[in-house]
Amino acid sequence: MNRARVRRLAAVVFALALLCAVPWAGAQEEKAYILGMSAAFTGPSDGLGVELYRGSMAYFNRLNEKGGINGKPVVIRILDDGYQPGPAIDNTIEFLRDEDPLCLYSYVGTPTVTRILPLLKGYAGRRKLLFFPFTGAEPQREPPYDEFVFNLRPSYRQELHVLVDRFLKLNRKRLAVFYQADAYGRSGWDGAHRALAAKGLSLVGEATYLRGAKFDGSMRPQVEIIMRSKPDAVLSIGSYAACAAFIRDARDMGLDVPIANVSFVGSTWLLGLLNTAGLSSGRDYTANLINTQVVPSYEDLSLPAVREYRELMDCCPPPPPSYAAKAYVPLHYSFTGFEGFLNAKAMARVLEAYDENPGLGLKAAAESLRRVDIGIDVPLHFGPDRHQGLDRVYFTTVSDGKIVPIDEGQWQEWQQ
């Protein structure tokens, strides 16, 4: 038996173990709602998959303790793709051919999600949809694939639009972009390009890096390219390890303009890497750092969903999945974990609508949800022509070593 098969069997055993932990210990898996999740549980971006999964499981575990969906537990069946398209394709084929998973759920990353979209169309007869992937890319939001995918988060175009608009209002018009050389990075580049073009402007510089870059690698060549364009600010479209390396080298080389990352970066891990580097060098690498987020801050205790998320992560935090490295240290709270938690809350609403009328189909059940309250002061809304539930983009920065929301008046700090 090859190593990949062993890992997959281990994941199934882990999912079954979780199922046995709930009150109906003798329940058979075929009586559960099974979700197929392929994500990065290993590799340089493992934190994204692990914490997205843990956030989801925090909600589903509590839901299952209360009886699940009309007596049926919700189970996530996981497979690792390491944030690589090839394994993601293999995992998806396995899920699509297997009768058990009702749908695909919370995939991580643009290079993986965009490559599996043709499979959803090719296996259309199986009627398996993808719900709430952790990516803001456009392909799953446009024909011919939009009918097979439901998104919770806003798109990268939306994130870049509001980010560019903010910088222009601050009179920072010379914008450069640092991005991952793949579908994810190009999606962000396209969003920045479109936002600037709408104002009659263009990017003044750009530099790329290869997916899988690690924090201990050098980004000095990319910094040199960006510095030659003399930017007023830099838009960063990448993974947390690569973006942290770029920020570190940029500050060491004297590039002190604001650097703004989009939500996929995983701001908690980004901050951790920069703080660690700062302890070694004696520098503050977190100054002039801006991040867009697609969910509210997990520090906003005025929101019911935030209080619920923190309560569950305090009392009974789910362990990392079986694929995670033994040395992996789970995060207490994170934006990624909170997004996974909201994904699970939204998925539960879809399953409730489906359970009431299975003959309606999962797609119609999801499209029937209108102005659903999931506890974040913004209603969730789907429809036949709307497969994206949320649109609001949030901003954060770093203050006293912590990620904090940016107040409206605080933007003047970056006025030029």
- Convert the pLDDT of each residue in 260-275 to its tens digit: 999 999 999 999 999 9
Please give the torsion angle defined by the CA atoms of residues 260, 262, 267 and 272, in that order, rounded to the nearest 10 degrees.
-50
pLDDT at residue 377 tops 70:
yes
Q: Across all residues in the chain, what is the average pLDDT?
A: 93
Residues 220 and 344 in one domain: no
Query: pLDDT confidence of 30, banded at 50, 70, 90?
Result: low
3-class SS at 260?
A: strand
Residues 174 and 247 in one domain: yes
Q: In terms of Cα–Cα distance, which of 129, 99, 188, 96 is closest to 351?
A: 129
Residues 135 and 105 in one domain: yes
State if pTM tops 0.85.
yes
* 148: CB partners within 8 A, 6+ apart: 117, 120, 121, 124, 129, 130, 140
Q: What is the dihedral of CA 339, 341, 344, 349, to 10 degrees?
A: -90
Structural domain that includes position 251: 156-293+395-414
349 and 275 share a domain?
Answer: no
Whether pLDDT at 31 is above 90: no
Residues 161 and 250 in one domain: yes
pLDDT band at 126 (very low <50, low <70, confident <90, very high): confident
pLDDT at 410 over 50: yes
**Cα–Cα distances in angstroms (integers) from residue 40 to residues 106, 152, 245, 307, 333, in the given order:** 11, 19, 20, 27, 19
Q: Give the residue-averaged pLDDT of 199-204.
A: 98
Please identify which residue in the block is written with the tokens 């009768």: 99
> What percentage of residues in the chain have a pLDDT greater than 90?
90
Do residue 14 and residue 131 come from a single domain? yes
Residues 349-378, mean pLDDT to the nearest whole number? 96
pLDDT over 60 (residue 394): yes
When pLDDT is averaged across residues 89-114 and rounded to a whole number, the result is: 97
Answer yes or no: is pLDDT of 23 > 90.
no
Q: With bands split at pLDDT 50, 70 and 90, how would you rate the model's confidence at 125?
A: confident
Residue 37 CA to residue 278 CA, distance in Å, equals 36
Inside any domain, residue 244: yes
What are the CA-CA distances from residue 80 to residues 94, 110, 320 (Å)?
Answer: 12, 15, 13
| For range 272-292, the mean pLDDT | 96
Q: Is residue 390 in some structural domain? A: no
